[in-house]
Amino acid sequence: MSALQSLAGNSHAATTATYDVVVVGAGFAGMYMLHRLRGQGLSARVYEQGSGVGGTWYWNRYPGARCDVESMQYSYSFSDELQQQWDWSERYAPQPEILKYANHVADRFNLRSDIQFNTRVDQAVFDERENTWSVTTSDGKTVTAKYVVLATGCLSNARMPDIKGLENFKGNVYHTGHWPHEAVDFTGQRVGVIGTGSSGIQSVPVIAEQASHLTVFQRTANFSIPARNAPLTEQERQAFRARYPEIRRIAREEMKNGIFQEVPDRGALDDGGNERRAKYEARWSRGGLTFMGVYNNLALDKAANDTAADFVRGKIAEIVSDPQTAKLLQPNNHPIGSKRICIDSDYFATFNRPNVTLIDIKSNPIEEILPNAVRTASGDYEVGTLVLATGFDAMTGSVAKIDIRGRNGQTLNEKWAEGPKTYLGLMSVGFPNLFIITGPGSPSVLSNMIVSIEQHVDWITDCIAYMRDRGFGAMEAKQDAEDRWVAHVNEVAHTTLYPQANSWYMGANIPGKPQIFMPYIGGVGVYRTSPPRAMRDLR
């Protein structure tokens, strides 16, 4: 059935407009995409499910939510005026400030007039005769566009856990990734938090201060490094701003993760025990993601990794007074860094509070949620409010929700049934003129997202301009180029310790999801050298 026939069968669909480009999502990727497309004189329509801009920062409003990349680097670089004028208040920006920044960008670049809020994209169908996409939205309308850009985000599809009885719970249930817009007050309540990834680790200390009692249900202990968050001084901001062009260039071109930092020149086992410990101590005191940057082989060599993991386990034992609780909080089933390392403010110390209990649900699984309690194999824990910090269907979840049909009516979900297959994480064969920003197969979540977003947006903009200048109708990767890229992504991942963890990078947190390491681990610098050479891989 052709695309047009299939649309003709949908009585709600009425084609209302034609654009050069439809962009799905108005987070940091969608906003910058719109800005660049307008700069090319192209017409674009952005659809956004939320009522405002900001993407992941619009949805993740849970208490304690912060970026784990420092504010001066987790920001757009495309406008020097913007980066010189915006004042970040803290080393790690809290969610409300990042959302304010997103709104500032939307206003400053006058983006809102081309964004349709409260509108979900449900379907995109490629018309092979016309080389156009028909895009159907949740308001029942269908528009036509030559290009579709999925700016749907990597951590946008919050995942409700499949726990028996959840629907019978009498109190409020909140998911960290879908938090209400009004502040939630836990004062005097018995709260249960399920999940101890980054969202759980950030929210637990804040909730513990309000709740009469907090029970944390932990399935897997995670490594976490203190953020050492603090206000940024004007001098610190100025020091960064004065060097911004150089810092941004180095972050893009020379760093693996898109974050400007010192590059280690030795491995963990090249230093003696005392020297190594002193270096870990210094990084622990400084705080933040750069802890993992102290040596160059922590992600590659298990023996090297063990030295860092042992150091952090030792810190947990020092901080947590009750030895049994400390032991439970010490991660022991994955190399440090093979799951996204967490950055916290007083997480481990929170378990010294008299109103906080840790329950190990690995050895003692949750059996059922009762109207006012969580039932585990060993007993019931009374709770009046539940916080689910259970994560996302990461990297592919938001794309999979859209019914995307390419050549010969093939759906993207059919094509990706055994795992996502892309060329450079940007396109998928059989889906011409459809781009994914920071898609699976690109550095995306292993990098400073804004660095990767800007690179993809710039590439897509250049690609569209190239095609327009030459009057080309459609483009996609060649099959062998995609096959080679998928194999390369997989091969590089398996030279590291990352695949040893049951992480969302692997799709391991979603029952039934194919377990494939999704992001490209070669680093943003190496990755950046691929696209310009890639034109021969396209048709």
Instruction: Among 26, 389, 427, 489, indicate the residue that binds ligand NA7 (CB under 6 A).
Output: 389
List CB contacts of 384: < 8 A, sequence separation 6 or more: 171, 189, 190, 191, 372
Contact flag: residue 340 with ligand NA7 (CB under 6 A): yes
Q: Measured from the CB atom, is 46 or 451 closer to ligand NA7?
A: 451
Give the CA angle between residues 159, 162, 163 to the nearest 5°: 125
* Close Cβ partners of 176 (under 8 Å, ≥ 6 residues apart): 60, 62, 65, 158, 195, 199, 200, 203, 387, 388, 389
Nearer to ligand NA7, 215 or 220 (CB): 220
Q: Which residue has the tokens 């990042």?
A: 98
Nearer to ligand NA7, 219 or 488 (CB): 219
Q: What does each C-alpha distance from 306 to 331, 337, 534 come to in angstroms?
A: 11, 11, 38
Nearest distance from residue 424's CB to ligand NA7, in Å?
A: 22
Distances (CA, A) of 250 to 261, 286, 296, 386, 412: 9, 21, 17, 43, 36
Rounded CA gap, 294 and 292, in Å?
Answer: 6
Beta carbon of residue 504, minimum distance to ligand NA7 (angstroms, whole number): 5
Is residue 258 a contact point for ligand NA7 (CB under 6 A)? no
Give whichever of 21 and 366 is closer to ligand NA7, judged by the CB atom: 366
Q: With CB under 6 A as the contact rule, which of the stretches 22-30, 195-203, 310-318, 451-459 interacts with ligand NA7?
A: 195-203
- The closest residue (CB) to ligand NA7 is 197
Write down the least CB distance from residue 345 to ligand NA7, Å: 15
How far lies 342's CA from each of 337, 345, 425, in Å? 9, 10, 25
Nearer to ligand NA7 by Cβ, of 34 and 399: the residue is 399
Q: Which is nearer to ligand NA7, 44 or 251 (CB)?
A: 251
Q: Which two tokens stand for residue 173?
A: 């249930």
505 close to 517: Cβ distance less than 8 angstroms: yes
Residues 6+ away with beta carbon under 8 Å from 350: 204, 205, 208, 356
- Residue at token pair 């810190």: 315
In this chain, which of 64, 153, 192, 200 binds ligand NA7, going by CB under 6 A?
Answer: 200
Per CB under 6 A, the list member of 28, 133, 504, 527 interacting with ligand NA7 is 504
Residue 198 binds ligand NA7, judged by CB under 6 A: yes
Rounded to whole angstroms, the Cα distance separating 47 from 197 reads 30
Contacting ligand NA7 within 403-462 (CB under 6 A): none
Select the residue interacting with ligand NA7 from 26, 37, 135, 194 (CB under 6 A). Answer: 194
Q: State which residue, 70 or 301, has the beta carbon closest to ligand NA7.
A: 70
User: Applying CB under 6 A, does 509 fall inside the site for ligand NA7?
Assistant: yes
Kindly indicate which of the ranges 191-199, 462-470, 515-523, 527-535 contains the residues binding ligand NA7, using the contact rule CB under 6 A: 191-199
Cβ atoms of 74 and 102 closer than 8 Å: no
User: Please, what is the minimum distance in Å from the beta carbon of residue 356 to ligand NA7?
Assistant: 17
Nearer to ligand NA7, 361 or 481 (CB): 361
The sheet with strand 366-370 has its strands ordered as 366-370, 373-376, 379-382
Distance linking the first and last C-alpha atoms of the chain: 25
- Provide the mask over 282-321, with x wherever binding to ligand NA7 is found by CB under 6 A and - wherever it is not: ----------------------------------------
The span from the CA of 387 to the CA of 338, in Å, is: 25
Q: How far is CA 357 from the centre of its chain?
A: 29
Q: Which of residues 357-386 bind ligand NA7 (CB under 6 A)?
A: 361
Q: How far is the CB of 389 from ligand NA7 (least distance, A)?
A: 5
Compute the least distance from the CB of residue 76 to ligand NA7, in Å.
19
Q: Which of 52, 54, 63, 197 binds ligand NA7 (CB under 6 A)?
A: 197
Q: Which is nearer to ligand NA7, 221 or 399 (CB)?
A: 221
Among 75, 196, 438, 452, binds ligand NA7 (CB under 6 A): 196
Contacts with ligand NA7 in 204-223 (CB under 6 A)?
Answer: 219-220
Q: How many CA atoms lie within 13 A of 359 on its CB side?
A: 21
Integer Rg of the chain from CA: 23
Cβ within 8 Å of residue 391, ≥6 positions away = 158, 159, 177, 195, 197, 199, 504, 509
Do the beta carbons of residue 149 and residue 460 sit within 8 Å? Answer: yes
Among 54, 287, 391, 420, interactor with ligand NA7 by CB under 6 A: 391
Smallest separation, CB 355 to ligand NA7 (Å): 21
CA dihedral 16, 21, 26, 27 (to 10 degrees): 160
Binder of ligand NA7 out of 161, 267, 419, 514 (CB under 6 A): 161
- Should residue 397 be labelled a site residue for ligand NA7 when binding is judged by CB under 6 A? no
State which of residues 390, 411, 428, 461 lies at the interface with ligand NA7 (CB under 6 A). 390
Residues in the chain: 539
Residue with tokens 């890639």: 534
Taking CB under 6 A as the criterion, the residue among 75, 77, 176, 345 binding ligand NA7 is 176
Cα 249 to the chain's mean position, in Å?
23
Q: Which stretch binds ligand NA7 (CB under 6 A): 166-174, 196-204, 261-269, 512-520?
A: 196-204
67 is a contact residue toward ligand NA7 (CB under 6 A):
no
Binding positions for ligand NA7, rule: CB under 6 A: 155, 161, 163, 176-177, 194-200, 219-220, 340, 361, 389-392, 504, 509
